[in-house]
């Protein structure tokens, strides 16, 4: 399933990431991880103290990738609105949902402060970065000065995460796309009146 060039710890982390996204923490057994990674029990426990340790490495990796993907779009060129629009419209597997957002629905992850921390930190960094971009738009007069950067950042994250839920419930990406279009229309830059 994974590249022959990938080390055993890497295969274990990647398999765990995929299984956490598909099945959640409880549904991700050590045996399933070992099978997916094509690694033996001894290899798994040689590299990781146990399922919680491996899950933490997988969650951290997933959180880092979420942050890097968002940063790549939000630090790109263009206006603040264009960068927010690019973030909202970037390619996503909408019907699978967000691999980080999925973890917020997992009671075992949320109940464990160590496993929850990278999830909370990733979403917090995303909100903070979005708030910076919104603030740029406010500072240069592009966005309505009635907006609050932190509130809009939270709204963008909520729209994406809520859009995933609606799309999955509907079995169609249409609710996600509708939510994104609605938010973008609300954020549309002010135009000069002649």
CATH of the domain at 148: 1.10.357.10
Q: Is the pLDDT of residue 3 over 80?
A: no
Q: Is residue 113 exposed (0-12), middle (13-18) or buried (19+ Cβ within 10 Å)?
A: exposed
Computed from CA positions of residues 46, 39, 99, 110, in that sequence, does the dihedral angle turn out positive or negative? negative
For the chain, what is the domain count? Answer: 1
Q: What's the whole-number mean pLDDT along residues 29-56? A: 91
The first and second tokens of residue 61, run together, are: 């990796």
Residue 141 inside a domain? The answer is yes
Interval 45-71: pLDDT, tens? 889 998 999 999 999 999 999 999 999
Q: What is the pLDDT of residue 4?
A: 60
Spatial CA neighbour of 127 closest among 87, 163, 97 = 87
Residue 42 inside a domain? The answer is yes
Model confidence, pTM: 0.89
Residue 194 inside a domain? The answer is no
Interval 133-187: pLDDT, tens? 999 999 999 999 999 999 999 999 999 999 999 999 999 999 999 999 999 999 9
Identify the three-state secondary structure at position 56: helix
Residue 45 inside a domain? The answer is yes
Residue 3 inside a domain? The answer is no
Q: What is the pLDDT of residue 42?
A: 87
Cα separation of 132 and 33, whole Å? Answer: 39
Q: What is the pLDDT of residue 138?
A: 95
Residue 55 inside a domain? The answer is yes
Residue 1 inside a domain? The answer is no
Q: Is the pLDDT of residue 193 over 60?
A: no
Q: What is the pLDDT of residue 126?
A: 97
- Domain span at residue 101 reads 8-187
């Amino acid at each position: 399933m994974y590249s022959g060039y990938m080390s055993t710890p890497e295969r274990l982390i990647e398999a765990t990431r995929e299984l956490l996204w598909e099945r959640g923490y409880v549904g991700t057994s050590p045996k399933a991880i070992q099978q997916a990674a094509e690694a033996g029990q001894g290899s798994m426990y040689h590299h990781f103290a146990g399922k919680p340790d491996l899950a933490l490495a997988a969650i951290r990796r997933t959180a880092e990738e979420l942050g890097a993907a968002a940063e790549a779009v939000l630090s790109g060129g263009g206006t603040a609105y264009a960068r927010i629009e690019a973030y909202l419209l970037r390619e996503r597997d909408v019907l699978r949902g967000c691999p980080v957002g999925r973890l917020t629905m997992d009671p075992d992850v949320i109940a464990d402060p160590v496993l929850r921390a990278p999830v909370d930190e990733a979403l917090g960094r995303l909100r903070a970065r979005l708030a910076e971009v919104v603030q740029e738009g406010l500072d240069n007069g592009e966005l309505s000065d009635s907006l609050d950067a932190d509130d809009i950042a939270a709204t963008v994250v909520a729209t994406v995460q809520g859009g995933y839920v609606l799309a999955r419930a509907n079995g169609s990406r249409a609710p996600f796309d509708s939510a994104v279009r609605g938010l973008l229309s609300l954020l549309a830059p002010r135009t000069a009146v002649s």
